[in-house]
Amino acid sequence: MASLYTQADSNIRKTWVLMLSFFIAVIGLGWAFSFIFNSPVILYVAVAFSIVMNVGSYWYSDKLALKTSGAKPADEKQFQEIHRILENLSITVGIQKPRLFVITDPAPNAFATGRDPKHAAVAVTTGLLKTLERSELEGVLAHELSHIQNRDTLVMTVVVVLLGFVTLLSHFFLRGMLYGGGNGGDRDGRLQIILIVAGFALAIFAPIAAQLIQFAISRKREFLADASGALITRYPEGLASALKKISAYTQPMRNANHATAHLYIGNPFGAKATKGFNRLFATHPPIEERIKALLT
């Protein structure tokens, strides 16, 4: 059973499983194409590429997540208050103060990233800073620090890179299908057939894989981070109130995308993305359930 003390080890194991699965999948794809075209070079390229992507996802996924979201370093003078809150909470948790970033966006939201507490970062939107009271901000930041302490950020940020690559790969095959041309003989015809099959398969597989992996990360991590955050601040009402305000904002974030959606404390696609049928595919548990868990 997951607890505040076992989650970190569990997430480290999940990260290795994800990276190994990606490694095997890319090598398998490279082997298939090297067999079809009778070219061992394709397999060598696939092996090298999978190694580079795995290493890159571990070391640089936090930078990619911050860049994709449009986050900028928070000036210590301009954002003095939020820096002070984050530093005080970090001392309480017993970890190094993460780097603080700000996203210029009216939607109230936040996320944490980084492979470990020493290389962690927390990003908050300008909308969050304008919308929330101090006790609510403390609740949100404590929630994000819990993700860092529990090593949720390790598996969450690695997923950003690996899922992003799957999506790009599907686009690559679809473009090859459309523009590869198939009028140059049997070999070109065979290539086009392969591109068509691979393109459609990956186009269908990419979003499904994204959802399955994000579900594998487990929605329970949000409940666990909420509980951890409440323990840190000793004031669960603050985080509960913050979640209520975050969920009330209906418009999506400007840089919202499916690859990084699971990083945020609230769904970056807005309140409508968690209604009706969409709830089945949401990366976050319903806000109502999270608030109820905090207040009971």
Q: Where are the alpha helices (DSSP H) in the chain?
A: 7-36, 40-69, 80-93, 126-131, 134-149, 152-179, 186-217, 220-233, 236-248, 287-295
Active-site residue identified among 144, 237, 288, 289? 144
Q: List, as own/partner pairs, every contact residues 290-296 make where C-beta atoms lie below 8 angstroms and the sequence separation is at least 24, other chains included.
A: 290/222, 290/223, 290/226, 290/240, 290/243, 291/240, 291/243, 291/244, 293/223, 293/226, 293/227, 294/226, 294/227, 294/230, 294/236, 294/237, 294/239, 294/240, 294/243, 295/236, 295/237, 295/240
CA of residue 123 relative to chain centroid, distance: 13
108 burial (CB, 10 Å; 0-12 / 13-18 / 19+) is buried
The residues, ordered by sequence, that sit 6+ positions from 65 with a Cβ below 8 Å of its Cβ are 111, 113, 157, 160, 260, 263
CB 107 within 8 A of CB 257: no
Distance CA 154, CA 43 (A): 29
CB 141 within 8 A of CB 121: no
Longest C-alpha distance within the chain, in Å? 71
Look at residues 255, 262, 168 and name the one whose alpha carbon lies nearest to residue 211. Answer: 262
Catalytic residue check, 144: yes
Distance CA 132, CA 249 (A): 12
Q: Mind telling me the catalytic residues? A: 144
